[in-house]
Amino acid sequence: MPEVLILDAVRTAIGKRNGTLARSHANDVLGAVQKAIVDRTGIDPLVVDQVVGGCVQQVGAQSANVARNAWLAMRLPQEVPAATVNSQCGSSQEANMVAHALVGSGLAGVAISCGVEMMSSVPFGAMAVEGKYGMPREGTYAEVYEPTTQFEGAERIASKWAITREQADALGCESQRRAAQAWAEDRFAGQIAPLEVTSYGEDGKPTGTVTFERDECLRPTTMEGLAKLKTNAPDGIHTAGTSSQICDGAGALLLATPERAAALGLKARGRIVDSVLVGCDPELMLEGPIPATDKLLARTGLSMDDIDVFEINEAFASVVLAWQQETGADMTKVNPNGGAIAVGHPLGGSGVILLTRALNELERSGGRYALISMCCGGGLGTGTIIERI
């Protein structure tokens, strides 16, 4: 495939459940990063051939093609088309893969990939299947596969790879420590688009506006504190301290061919080396980063030692720990600025947020390659390798 460049990447700060972004509309939050990437690069938005967005709970405020609605809400040109895809938690990373393919194939010269999830206002499970979030429990699907939830999948992975509660707690504690260090050292500088958000008093009435530009899910964490938490399942290992946080947020990337980048007078920050979407056991469900990593390395000829930064979504601690067992990854390179346990996992927004974080970390650390992967409900895994330019 011809070279596909990353011209810019931006994200919102991530708002905690019922936090600063809780009353913001998905169109406004996603639209803010779409507009930010246009404003930061100075492009005429009409040069964008297509916008591809990811969102999981496509209902209520996130329904009816939220990627398009967000674009129009920002008064951006109606001539630019947009579509919204759903690969569950990997939705915006899949949106980036679609944008990668559009640009690489020549169907588009410039594309924006993006994603959003406002989990405070469109709750996790808003699109529950037959009364329970997870796979369909009636009909032919249930005759072929045992219906499971992400929570059940996480515990089955812990059992299969013999991951203990103490190991999970240690990863959760380290995620919080690294995220706190990243903010203390201002490592996220330049990647966050500030949002002007309405503030509310205790009576629920608007009190003015605040500028939102700092991740707010972080919390002081110790191994002793984690050990006291109740597990999600009676016989499980995961707790609220070792599971990704419910939150709100969005991100966006601007992709282009080298020819279009040159014509626009823009210097690329990186390039996409390869993108994959893989299928895996839908009952175990969350092992997708393992085959996604294997496929990416096999197709590119790169090795684990060639990768300088790994962003493996911390949907649950067992997902990352099982992946590490299978790949032998150096954990000092994995989620170096904390992961979703500390920062949050706004479902359909997380893929492009992780890509943004990875690109910025390569630039900060001087690394060359980053590998980004996510597990997804239904037995899928997304994966991308990017290279800093």
Rounded average pLDDT over 276-296: 97
List 55, 114, 247, 375, catalytic entry: 375
Q: Which residue has the higher pLDDT, 339 or 205?
A: 339
Q: What is the pLDDT of residue 37?
A: 98
Look at residue 193 and tell me whether its pLDDT is greater than 90: yes
Computed over every residue of the chain, the mean pLDDT equals 96
Read off the DSSP letter of residue 149.
Answer: -
Q: What is the pLDDT of residue 248?
A: 98
Confidence of residue 131 (pLDDT cuts 50, 70, 90): low
* Tokens representing residue 104 in the block: 């690489």
Structural domains in the chain, sorted by start: 5-120+130-139+147-388 (3.40.47.10)
On whether the CB atoms of residues 122 and 62 are closer than 8 A, the answer is: yes
Instruction: Answer yes or no: 280 catalytic.
Output: no
Q: What angle do CA 341, 65, 273 make, to 5 degrees?
A: 60
CA within 13 Å, CB half, 272: 33
For the chain, percent of residues with pLDDT exceeding 70: 98
Look at residue 177 and tell me whether its pLDDT is greater than 70: yes
List 89, 114, 173, 280, catalytic entry: 89
Provide φ and ψ at 331, rounded to 5°.
-70, -15
pLDDT tens digits for range 65-75: 999 999 999 99
Q: What is the pLDDT of residue 18?
A: 94
Q: What is the pLDDT of residue 134?
A: 67
CA distance 182 to 67: 30
Instruction: Answer yes or no: 100 catalytic.
Output: no
CA distance 11 to 29: 10
List 114, 173, 280, 345, catalytic entry: 345
pLDDT tens digits for range 7-28: 999 999 999 999 999 999 999 9
Provide φ and ψ at 52, rounded to 5°.
-125, 120
pLDDT tens digits for range 319-354: 999 999 999 999 999 999 999 999 999 999 999 999
Rounded average pLDDT over 168-190: 98
Q: What is the DSSP string of 201-231?
A: -TTS-EEEEEEE-S--------HHHHHTSPB
Instruction: Answer yes or no: 55 catalytic.
Output: no
On whether the CB atoms of residues 70 and 26 are closer than 8 A, the answer is: yes
Q: What is the pLDDT of residue 201?
A: 87
CA distance 110 to 87: 23
Q: What does each C-alpha distance from 193 to 23, 35, 54, 182 come to in angstroms? A: 18, 10, 18, 17
| Model confidence, pTM | 0.97
